[in-house]
Structure 1
């Protein structure tokens, strides 16, 4: 027969309760530590700076600190990518005859008209029998054949392609001398089949627009096509001439008369609807993909559209723009020895130091490109602060649980 000591039993029960409470608190703290981590939205600034020369898809990454010299070089290259720089203004065309053109030929013969007297009409109001007036004869319209030749009565076949109407007039006049009395010839280009511009893309009417001696300019041709079909600020115009392709925002062409160049035969004008965008990541006010106009925006404008930097997280020395850059826009010393991407671009990371007031001015001159990535790293003390916060949460949880299971509660 055994007798239990009530005091001892109560003591053991209290110890079991405290032990259970401690184990529960420890398990909860472990769970909190597992659920809460020191994750980040991207690499730290130091890791990005150390990416110089690192491999990316077979190409070498270059890290470039944005300085006044770098910004000036990029701006100068951007200005050179214009229609005026690439193509020049050019001369009016449409006066050169080509295969497929239709010509209107008229011949005047001085009296007495020996060759065309039977067919011509007086150039004045007198009767056709008046032999004191020159006679005009309109020959049937002639199409220049695939060999560049044209066939005329009493003359036969003669080259026309590559000649201007004035040159062809002289050629016909020379052929008529000796068989016509003091002939004079007029050649007009009735239908231009060889000097055309193709207008395609986001215009109201796609098609071929003939060029005339007037010298049609870019906006003339776009107007003939009915204008652009999309919003002006979201439309870019691309001109393809031979193997050269240059693209400019429509809004810039309208505002800068120098870009309204004269077009040349076989130019291709393409209206492109391009909603450009960049992606903002890291310690910015709003992480998202942001559309911008074809006219472009600066880095300072881009920063404003994502609500700037997060005051509690951002590293003002760790503002970066990731870009697949055209090597021709960079200092040759930066590109030297670097392997390029298959498309000929170079992976470049531009770094801007906003702890220096000059960095704000540099942001205003740095143009964003389509598909750029704007990334702001965390400040060095952010991870320590988050770690301390986690420890505080665990400590308060332990205290709360311990108090909850303590004897007498």
Structure 2
């Protein structure tokens, strides 16, 4: 019996000397005390996740969409440009004055022709074409019908009831450039139909990656906007009419966040280009572990863009060398309203979601270790007693 008690006392002494029982990361109190601690050239900011901050960050994530950024709706495929190749045909009613000629013989009799055809007319670098008896005519930026009317008005009084037909043979000017993760990058010609964004993507053979992980960027002059392809498909108003010289860039965006600590799963999880919120992120990791998690210790670690914080930016904040602010957002799930806040807080690529252990978790680990050791020692003591 004395051996049993001595062994148990020794085991408990060893256990009580342990300063740490292992953990998956820092404690909640250590994180809350990290404010203003140095991180390279910057300082860490710890911010309680409030409704105001969540709304501010959500507003910063709302970039201009295609329908607001690009308001032009004119169908430009019918307007000609420099380098386009045209076929021009001129007629006049008999008796022909300008275009009368003998086209050949039919049954031994001459056949008169009252027309003139000009194939392969190229719109020159000045945007002009040359038409017999009509002179130089501006073609760039005009429709074939407008050019026909101009030709007829110039020939009136010279030819007998003149008529003209202008046909686009080869489109060299009104094109959209499609590059990136599509089957066939290249220039897609526009037609009078008025091609939309999804039309030119289809013309390039479609995207090569999953729609949910694909982002489309449109560059028009000095304006630029990006949107998830899934949003464009779901919202017809974003499937805008493209314009000549637009550049459509398709990019594969494998967004992900990392979950650590007392969550249902510690791993890196991908999410869609349309984005997810913090509540969805917690759901995807299986929630918090009831036996370990501190419901006041849900943290999101992020290198934040200072512009996204706006008025919420801490005074005297020191940024990293690339202009980012190390921020730890803390969500207190003990407050029922925090679940609504979590639905407003947008997760971003490379965020770290960390849930700290509850303060009593270490005590529970200690008691489990003592119990295991005590039962082991008692077993050994019983074996010794039985052998005596």
Global fold match (TM > 0.5): yes
Distance (Å, rounded) in 2 between the aligned partners of 1:195 and 1:182: 33
For residues 178-217 of structure 1, the aligned pairs below 5 Å read 179-181=158-160, 183-217=162-196
Distance (Å, rounded) in 1 between the aligned partners of 2:365 and 2:16: 12
Shift of 1:385: 3.3
Shift of 1:312: 1.5
For residues 100-179 of structure 1, the aligned pairs below 5 Å read 100-109=83-92, 111-118=94-101, 129=112, 135-155=114-134, 157=136, 159-169=138-148, 172-173=151-152, 176=155, 179=158
Residue 309 of structure 1: which of 288, 296, 314 is its match? 288
1:44 aligns to what?
27
**Cα gap change, 1:107 to 1:214, in 2 (>3 Å):** same
Residue 370 of structure 1: which of 326, 349, 355 is its match? 349
Residue by residue, what CA displacement relative to the aligned partner does 1:204-262 show, whole Å, maximum 9, x if unpaired?
Answer: 33322111232211111122223233333333323233454433222221111111111
Shift of 1:140: 1.9
More displaced 10-residue stretch of structure 1: 111-120 or 20-29:
20-29
SS at match of 1:139: strand
Contact 2:196 2:240 in 1 (8 A): yes
Instruction: Report how many residues are paired.
Output: 383
- When normalised by structure 1's length, the TM-score is 0.77
- When normalised by structure 2's length, the TM-score is 0.81
CA RMSD of aligned residues (A): 3.8
1:347 aligns to what?
326
**Cα gap change, 1:54 to 1:169, in 2 (>3 Å):** farther
Matched, 1:292 2:271: yes
Shift of 1:346: 3.7
**Cα gap change, 1:89 to 1:168, in 2 (>3 Å):** closer
Shift of 1:280: 0.4
1:223 aligns to what?
202
Residue 69 of structure 1: which of 46, 52, 69 is its match? 52
Point out where structure 1 has 5 or more consecutive residues left out of the alignment.
Answer: 1-19, 122-126
Contact 1:29 1:398 in 2 (8 A): no
Distance (Å, rounded) in 2 between the aligned partners of 1:193 and 1:403: 96
SS at match of 2:215: strand
Residue by residue, what CA displacement relative to the aligned partner does 1:68-124 show, whole Å, maximum 9, x if unpaired?
Answer: 233333334434442223333532212332222112223344554322233899xxx
For residues 389-400 of structure 1, the aligned pairs below 5 Å read 389-391=368-370
Distance (Å, rounded) in 2 between the aligned partners of 1:350 and 1:85: 32
SS at match of 1:332: helix
Distance (Å, rounded) in 1 between the aligned partners of 2:351 and 2:326: 11
Contact 2:102 2:112 in 1 (8 A): no
2:107 aligns to what?
none
**Cα gap change, 1:96 to 1:273, in 2 (>3 Å):** same
Contact 2:8 2:374 in 1 (8 A): no
Point out where structure 2 has 5 or more consecutive residues left out of the alignment.
Answer: 105-109
Higher-Rg member (1/2)? 1
2:61 aligns to what?
78
